Amino acid sequence: MKANVNRANASEILRTVPPDQSFLFFEDIGKYTGRLAANLADFCENMKTIDIKSVTFHFERGDYERWIRETLHDAELARKLKRIKKSNSGEELRKKILQPVRRRLNELNKMSRQKPRKHKRAKRKSTPKIAPAKSRARKDS
């Protein structure tokens, strides 16, 4: 079931959030990596190179799915991440996370650049013009 995303929704999902809402990458409880993501593009870039310990730590806790759903308001991408099997690990896990994130990022970027559609006015049906009835001239004889 694909959610309808319009230009405004795409812009909302792609927006940069304030620092207090950014995704902070940790390797474990109390072990902050010093990296954060303030939008989906940042998240994608960080996912490419962040230590695999961080990838696994957050995946196992459901942190990616939660941040994407609750902060970026992208329920569709959050559902896709939730469906990734817990049995994935290491670089395979990174790949499984990056695939839907990249795909969604591309899709949203295209949508946000599209010009809004103009609504076409409904054509009014023209009423047929009725010619006046011809009067028959009576011959008076």
**Residue 8 CA: distances (Å) to CA of 5, 21, 76, 126:** 8, 20, 16, 37
Alpha helices in the chain (DSSP H): 7-14, 40-49, 52-61, 63-70, 75-82, 90-113
List the domain range (segments joined by +) for residue 74.
Answer: 7-113
- In this structure, the number of other CB atoms found within 10 A of the CB of residue 101 comes to 21
**Do residues 114 and 5 make contact, with C-beta atoms less than 8 angstroms apart?**
no
Number of structural domains found in the chain: 1
* Residue 53: strand, helix, or coil: helix
- What pLDDT does 60 receive? 96
Question: What tens-digit pLDDT sequence spans the chain (141 residues)?
Answer: 355 678 889 999 999 999 999 999 999 999 999 999 999 999 999 999 999 999 999 999 999 999 999 999 999 999 999 999 989 999 999 999 999 999 999 999 998 887 655 545 555 555 555 655 555 455 544
Nearest-angstrom CA–CA distance, 76 and 122? 34
Residue 129 lies in a domain: no
**Per the domain annotation, does 124 fall within a domain?**
no
* Residue 131 in tokens: 């010619």
SS3 2: coil
Note the pTM of the prediction, 2 decimals.
0.76
In a domain? residue 80: yes
Q: Considering only CA atoms, which of 84, 75, 82 is closest in space to residue 13?
A: 75
The upper half-sphere exposure of residue 94, i.e. CA atoms within 13 Å in the direction of its Cβ, equals 15
In a domain, 19, yes or no: yes
